[in-house]
Amino acid sequence: MTDRIDPKRTALIAYDVCRRQVTPDDPARCAAMRPVLDAWVRLIGAARSAGIPVIYTTPVSRVDGADVVLLPTDLSTETGTPSLTNGVEGTPGAGFPDEIAPLPGDHVFLKRRPSAFYGTGVGELLHMLRRDVVIIGGGATNRGVETSVREAFNMDLDTIVVRDCCWGSDAAAHTYSLDKAMKMYARVRALEQVLGMVAG
């Protein structure tokens, strides 16, 4: 299998690259995320230059929490934290850092569940645009990105995960997802490799 893509059949999904995640208020976390933000600047710029549609998702819930379903899971029981911890729709944290802010020609979807596809309209957009190759990155790697990659596989989408554009608070789970779990469903590549694929 060749490591090439056709930009005319490709779309980029910037999964949950919102301010709350990529430029958090905590200075130490913000500094740690800087390499990821820099990687996204380069990837989005390359995609736009190649005419590849850029699709943003941002994880949100209503301010009254009416769209939040608190299902009992082992992790929520162990940590005392709900399985989904979305930001609040319409708040600055649900928007995007200036460096990678959407342009008028980009596509932005509000996302209320872990998958980039469930209830968003992203899958329908890809169909309308006739795009069957997806480049994706974001966080958390082992949660939302992996969920989206598995669903993309079920939709017969050729998926490339950009390692440098992914992050997670659990280092072991992040690494396992990239090095083991997602290899069954996608190609996992470094940023430089993907930039080369985009440039042809």
Mean pLDDT score of the chain: 93
pLDDT digits (tens, 9 = 90+) for 64-123: 888 877 788 887 888 877 777 778 888 899 999 999 999 999 999 999 999 999 999 999
Domain of residue 30, CATH code: 3.40.50.850
Q: Is 2 within a domain?
A: no
Q: Tokens 């005419």 map to which residue?
A: 51
Q: Is 30 within a domain?
A: yes
Measured CA to CA, the distance from residue 151 to residue 157 in angstroms comes to: 9
Q: Is 48 within a domain?
A: yes
pLDDT digits (tens, 9 = 90+) for 4-34: 999 999 999 999 999 999 999 999 999 999 9
**pLDDT score at 179:** 97
Residue 2, pLDDT > 70, answer: no
**Residue span of the structural domain in which 139 resides:** 7-199
**pLDDT score at 72:** 83
Residue 1, pLDDT > 70, answer: no
pLDDT digits (tens, 9 = 90+) for 133-162: 999 999 999 999 999 999 999 999 999 999
Question: Model pTM greater than 0.85?
Answer: yes
Number of domains the chain is built from: 1
Distances, alpha carbon 150 to alpha carbons 10, 115, 120, 145, 155, in Å:
18, 9, 16, 9, 9
Q: Is 1 within a domain?
A: no
Q: Is 163 within a domain?
A: yes
Q: Is 53 within a domain?
A: yes
